[in-house]
Structure 1
């Protein structure tokens, strides 16, 4: 099994929805573009990734949303060294279709009280649903490692919640730990690095917006 030396997760750059949440009332979530600032953020991230990857090959997976596809393009990585696959299981949490801003703000307040992992948006998904499809993607990713010539780098261009849930699934974090984590900023990265002991560690943690609640599963 040719496990990659590193797995890099990138959140998309600033999108039109990040800059103005009224756009969700007029445009589908999946169709929102990067802002000029978002393109600059992605380009800066790309400069760092080009230095990290050097001349090594990359196996890239990208959410099919326009803002993630645009982010991948703005990273400006060497296409001759990169195999790219569009991966719908890495998409954003589904919130329904066109969104009423006040309704979504109300539902977000409900989610804060109920819990980000279990709260389900009307006509949309819960965090637990995203966790399940991320788990399905991980099974496919593990199988790809069986190829003896698998690239030494994996790149996932995705969304903030999906990044956190990917790491939750990979490192077997509890729901309480997930609930305490903040989203990375736009175009921020997290890298899972393969150690000499055969285990992966993350280059830097997600910030916490609160202390995880202790819970004893053996009690």
Structure 2
């Protein structure tokens, strides 16, 4: 079994933080650069999928759906999965409050700090846990479900998906960087456990000494 994780291409919010003050997060589009990124990475993603059937689970946000469209992947089933959406930042119409909340979140930690009218990382972690439980059951028990899955989602959501799957500590999660836009990671099920093809960029050593990777895939 294989799960391919892809972050969306560069969006308007990645280059203009004030865009969140005038456009709902779910409606932020890709930039022209983001569209080029998705087209460019498409052949690599299709090669990772191979010739077999693939099921796609994509965040319903505009930037993730457009990224998937531009990857040009022929899928047996496509599911717009709300549990794969970005962390809910609440109401961001006030740019001063937005900047203040970003500083508070960085100071107190991305996992436990809950944004007013929004979510904490822990809240996202909970919904990802429910999604992963269902997905693994389908991949293992449903003969009609493809054994290869493509997930197109968001930076923090992808990090939390891996945190859940590998039981990473909160300290380790908060020591990792998001994937770059249109960057991918591959998870393979080998010897009754999931393996990550390569680590996330780590901006500090985890305070608890935890590390990302187990034994290498043969």
What TM-score do you get using the length of structure 2 for normalisation? 0.92
Spell out structure 1 runs of 4+ moving beyond 4 A: none
- Tell me if structure 2 keeps the 8 A contact 1:27–1:98: no
Residue by residue, what CA displacement relative to the aligned partner does 1:12-36 show, whole Å, maximum 9, x if unpaired? 0000111111111111000000011
Aligned partner of 2:177 in structure 1 is 182
What's the CA shift for 1:52?
A: 1.8
Aligned partner of 1:70 in structure 2 is 66
Q: Partners in 1 of 2:22 and 2:4 — Cα distance?
A: 33
What's the CA shift for 1:215?
A: 7.4
What's the CA shift for 1:56?
A: 1.2
Aligned partner of 2:110 in structure 1 is 116
Aligned partner of 2:94 in structure 1 is 100
Aligned pair 1:13/2:37, yes or no? no
Aligned pair 1:29/2:16, yes or no? no
Residue by residue, what CA displacement relative to the aligned partner does 1:57-102 show, whole Å, maximum 9, x if unpaired? 1011010100000011010112xx4310010000000001343222
What's the CA shift for 1:54?
A: 2.5
What's the CA shift for 1:45?
A: 1.8
Aligned pair 1:58/2:54, yes or no? yes
- Compared CA separation, residues 51 and 26, structure 1 to 2 (3 A): same
Q: Which gives a bigger RCO, structure 1 or 2 (Cα 8 Å, sep 6+)? A: 1
Aligned pair 1:163/2:178, yes or no? no
Kindly report the root-mean-square deviation, in angstroms, between the aligned alpha carbons of the 2 structures: 1.4
Query: What SS class does the counterpart of residue 79 from structure 2 fall into?
Result: strand
- Tell me if structure 2 keeps the 8 A contact 1:93–1:125: yes
Aligned partner of 2:39 in structure 1 is 43
Residue by residue, what CA displacement relative to the aligned partner does 1:102-160 show, whole Å, maximum 9, x if unpaired? 22221111111101100111111000000000001112112212112321211111000
Aligned pair 1:152/2:147, yes or no? yes
Provide the aligned length of Structure 1 versus Structure 2.
209
- Tell me if structure 1 keeps the 8 A contact 2:156–2:178: yes
What's the CA shift for 1:188?
A: 0.6
- Tell me if structure 1 keeps the 8 A contact 2:92–2:98: no
Q: Partners in 1 of 2:167 and 2:208 — Cα distance?
A: 16
What TM-score do you get using the length of structure 1 for normalisation? 0.91
- Tell me if structure 1 keeps the 8 A contact 2:165–2:194: no
Q: Partners in 1 of 2:154 and 2:185 — Cα distance?
A: 12
Query: What SS class does the counterpart of residue 99 from structure 1 fall into?
Result: coil
- Tell me if structure 2 keeps the 8 A contact 1:24–1:100: no
Q: Partners in 1 of 2:96 and 2:168 — Cα distance?
A: 33
Query: What SS class does the counterpart of residue 111 from structure 2 fall into?
Result: coil
Q: Unaligned 5+ residue runs, structure 1?
A: none
